[in-house]
Homo-oligomer: A and B are copies of this chain.
Amino acid sequence: MLAEIKGLNEECGVFGIWGHEKAAEITYYGLHALQHRGQDGAGVVTSDGERLKIHKDLGLVNDVFKNADFQDLQGNAAIGHVRYATQGDGGIDNIQPLLFRSQTGSVALAHNGNIMNAYKLRGELERDGSIFQTTSDTEVLAHLIKRNSTSDYETALMEALRSLVGAYAFLIMKENKLYIATDPRGLRPISIGRLGGAYVVASETCAFDLVGASFEREVIPGELVVIDNNGISSKKFADAEPRTMCAMEYVYFSRPDSNVNRVNVHASRKKMGIELAKESPVEADVVTGVPDSSISAAIGYAEQSGLPYELGLIKNRYVGRTFIQPSQDLREQGVKMKLSPVRGIVEGKRVIMIDDSIVRGTTSKRIVRMLKDAGALEVHVRIASPPITNPCYYGIDMSTKEELIAANYSLYGMAKLIGADSLAYLSEEGLKRAIVREDLPHQGICTACFTGEYPVIEKGQKTIEYTKC
């Protein structure tokens, strides 16, 4: 499953609010709803109209704001961020929002995505005498704006955005303005909602549900939304290309209760399961899903196939990040970590195991063995998305093609490798049928990791030293 590579299965999440007297607290709750998008760091910046204040740290939202005195985070506006950290990415400095102060004012940035030409842009800025504070690609935008000698902030911002190549959703807050921008293809989700008289912004709509806000609309590719005390307005900083929302948002990243680009994620996953059952049925006794992300698809598969959905695998909810990993010999003796098979369910049964995806195959292999050790007679693996055969350059850390099992083995070879009695993937068409709603505008998904057809490519960029998101 996609969770098998650390850093591969996680995006960042952003939340913002303008015009609410408890801006910091609402943002705190909003970040809770987005916690699954980044569990290594969190932060909030508020504006009281005159000053920006910040609180951020490593850890879960709960940990970061454990002793939070929201008294210190005054103001009617706030932006927040949750992120995941990859090795060597500079610790707390890279946690967002990034906040830059100067004698003439401050600006805070929160970003979800990946700037592909960040290394090149930073090199140019450094040669001109700029000093960077982080290794985050997000900081490049701040310097591009600052270096622009135009006196108009908005013009400088739009020019800076135009020089970026990549997939991004930005929240940019000054003392008296909140800007929202997304790339010309709209690869990353970002929505606007209302909470009483206030405006809210979030990577996923589940954050609106949690704080009691109502969904208003999605930000359009290439759009710059400006919110201030006079209300909301919209500009176009670039021509919108056809929308190519990241398909993985539906397959894995987003919460099932979110609507991404107006499509409910749980519903789309259930449809993936239904399509998969149509395309690749198999004789069996029970259908089970790998928790948590594959449960919806498994229920869909069961409904369509008429087989009972059962709880064949269970996830240990209390295995936190301080969990002491079992040593090699204990693992060999059978000590499980996160996932356990339910012997009472699978013993003596032919099991259809639904998963969202396969990356390197090692996890799938482990789960299949687990089920067989618990007495499953047969294990038929069904994957609710197409084979991943290409790396992603837009923010998902899939590294190299060499690591992707589907890029290197035949279907039969993979089945053998993971020990499954049969293996099938959902087709690209099946995936599109499950996600794309013909009746809605701005639909369309990015399937580059399945097809190798990338919607935007900047040749020769060096991303390896960069911290995404």
Contacts and interface: CB of A to CB of B under 8 A. Distances in A.
Contact of A210 (B296, B316, B327): B316
Contact of A256 (B101, B316, B320, B342): B342
Contact of A126 (B26, B102, B210): B102
Contacts of A196: 333
A131 B145 CA distance: 11
A212 B266 contact: no
A308 B146 CA distance: 55
Given A36-B318, A255-B314, A340 B209 contact: yes
A45 B431 CA distance: 52
Interface string A243-268: 00000000000011101000010110
A119 to B, nearest CB: 8
B61 A342 contact: no
B257 A342 contact: yes
A341 B61 CA distance: 21
B131 A336 contact: no
A275 B270 CA distance: 26
Contacts of A29: 326, 330, 335
A460 interface: no
B103 A126 contact: yes
A459 interface: no
A60 B320 contact: yes
A231 interface: no
A374 interface: yes
Interface string A106-138: 000000000000010011001011111101000
A340 B258 CA distance: 11
A442 to B, nearest CB: 18
Copies in the complex: 4
Contact of A131 (B133, B209, B299, B314): B133
Interface in A18-35: 22, 25-26, 28-29, 32-33, 35
Nearest to A66: B322
A414 interface: no
A65 B318 CA distance: 13
Nearest to A195: B333
11 contacts: A60-B320, A61-B318, A68-B324, A131-B131, A131-B146, A209-B343, A256-B311, A257-B314, A266-B345, A267-B344, A267-B345
Interface of A: 22, 25-26, 28-29, 32-33, 35-36, 39, 60-63, 65-66, 68, 100-104, 119, 122-123, 126, 128-133, 135, 142-143, 146-147, 149, 195-196, 206, 209-213, 255-257, 259, 264, 266-267, 270, 292, 295-296, 299, 303, 308-311, 314, 316-320, 322-324, 326-327, 330, 333-336, 340-345, 374
